[in-house]
């Protein structure tokens, strides 16, 4: 077992019982304050640990870290050190925060400077994103969409169970949680019209996803195997792949998503490491027919992460509209990365690979409004008495997620975004 994952560990930092960020988590992110430029930090309870301060004051001496690795606008250079080195850093941070370790605990001056309350910081996008790929890895979601727009008997396209379907999205429009987005405009083909119209989307939607971030670069022509995939993955984030369904429906044939997707995607600010998620591995769905040899994986390669979606109207109360789980994903991260690179496509540090919408087997576990309202036919009822078929101006969509086992809760924080009127 990884030492930092020990469920018996306690911290001298006050961590509320249901916090997303106990000592067993220690996710990495980038933050700033009134007095600090963007720097790297780690979440613990209601605080952020300033990694630049720790580095500059000798707390990481002996780890062989390059100068300035934490004093950056993004985590890319730190992630590029590789899983072995970043694991050492996480283990050292865990040691410093342990209740029975006095090195930082009893150094009052250092402790007060290194620990910053979360209400005094602003979280930023954690990585510089060179490339972004979105997969389509939930069988339940693919079946629902196929049933809606084709035929339940032919809901899944012939290739779906043979390969992880994906498309290349727009890296430049990935934003950090809390960023407002304007309703997108584009061409829409109305049912009673022979020609399209140009207008704001009337069917704006969210997509409940997680994404993994890569921490290695490969050469063009090289490929990553399912066995080696996780050594190339730093961690996971929550991800909202906002979707304008009406724009998408008109444009996606023959080349796939474009304007219906690229106006914005929202990422949670804290990267939960694969190491922290190690205790929550589970077996994924049975794959039939048998996948080709390059997609074969062994052991538990899915994660038991509980996902929740909330919709909050302007000046209104949150309503929980969906509960799902990453364990439902048909294609795991190892298979996604192996398939992505099997043709020789190179990867880069900070690349984002989103799972695609994660839907479960029951209506309450669907990961999009398209499914929850069945393309607007079954409106959702909110706490304030209003209804939703799709997202309205002023609505905020919030994702929350955590894994829990043996009394340890590993959370992701929030992935939040508000929709403003079209410009």
Give catalytic residue positions.
Answer: 141
Identify the CA nearest to 207 among candidates 265, 277, 270: 265
Tokens found for residue 38: 């963007």
Pairing mode, strands 408-420 and 181-182 = parallel
Tokens found for residue 78: 């730190």
Element (H, E) at 39: strand 39-44
Identify the CA nearest to 227 among candidates 137, 334, 87: 334
Tokens found for residue 108: 């009052």
The conformation of residue 63, written as its DSSP 8-state character, comes to: S
CB atoms within 10 A of CB 423: 8
Strand partners, 307: 324, 401
Q: How many angstroms separate the CA atoms of 215 and 221, rounded?
A: 18
Apex 56 CA angle, 52 and 57, nearest 5: 115
Residue 274 to residues 277, 280, 357, Cα–Cα distance (Å):
5, 10, 20
Tokens found for residue 87: 């694991």
CB atoms within 10 A of CB 345: 17
Identify the CA nearest to 287 among candidates 163, 193, 394: 163
Contact yes or no for 125/74 (Cβ under 8 A):
yes
First-last CA distance in the chain: 52
Apex 201 CA angle, 199 and 204, nearest 5: 175
């Amino acid at each position: 077992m990884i030492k930092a994952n020990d469920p018996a560990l306690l911290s001298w930092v006050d961590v509320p019982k249901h916090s997303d960020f106990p000592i067993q988590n220690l996710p990495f992110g980038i933050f700033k304050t009134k007095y600090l430029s963007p720097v790297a930090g780690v979440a613990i309870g209601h605080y952020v640990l300033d990694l630049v301060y720790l580095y500059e004051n000798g707390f990481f001496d002996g780890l062989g870290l390059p100068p300035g690795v934490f004093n950056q606008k993004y985590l890319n250079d730190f992630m590029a050190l590789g899983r072995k080195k970043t694991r050492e850093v996480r283990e050292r941070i865990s040691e410093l925060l342990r209740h029975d370790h006095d090195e930082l605990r009893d150094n009052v001056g250092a402790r007060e400077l290194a620990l910053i309350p979360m209400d005094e910081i602003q979280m930023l996008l954690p990585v510089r994103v060179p490339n972004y790929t979105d997969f389509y890895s939930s069988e339940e979601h693919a079946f629902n969409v196929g049933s809606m727009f084709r035929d339940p008997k032919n809901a899944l396209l012939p290739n779906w169970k043979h390969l992880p379907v994906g498309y290349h999205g727009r890296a430049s429009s990935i934003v950090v949680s809390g960023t407002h987005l304007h309703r997108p405009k584009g061409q829409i083909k109305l049912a009673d019209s022979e020609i399209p119209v140009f207008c704001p989307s009337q069917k704006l939607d969210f997509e409940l996803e997680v994404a993994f971030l890569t921490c290695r670069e490969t050469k063009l022509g090289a490929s990553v195997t399912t066995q080696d995939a996780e050594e190339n993955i730093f961690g996971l984030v929550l991800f909202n792949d906002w979707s304008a369904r009406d724009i998408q429906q008109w444009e996606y044939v023959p080349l796939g998503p474009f304007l219906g997707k690229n106006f914005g995607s929202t990422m949670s600010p804290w990267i939960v490491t694969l190491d922290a998620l190690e205790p929550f591995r589970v077996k994924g769905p049975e794959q039939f027919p048998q996948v080709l040899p390059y997609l074969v994986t062994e052991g538990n390669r899915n994660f038991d992460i509980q996902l929740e979606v909330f919709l909050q109207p302007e000046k209104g109360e949150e309503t929980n509209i969906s509960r799902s789980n990453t364990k439902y994903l048909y294609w795991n991260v190892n298979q996604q990365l192996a398939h992505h690179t099997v043709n020789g496509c190179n990867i880069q540090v900070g690349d984002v690979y989103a799972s695609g919408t994660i839907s479960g087997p029951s209506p309450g576990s669907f990961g999009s409004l398209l499914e929850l309202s069945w393309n607007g036919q079954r409106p959702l009822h909110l706490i304030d008495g209003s209804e939703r078929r799709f997202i309205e101006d002023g609505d905020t969509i919030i994702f929350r997620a955590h894994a829990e086992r043996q009394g340890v809760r590993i959370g992701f924080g929030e992935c939040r975004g508000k929709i403003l009127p079209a410009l």
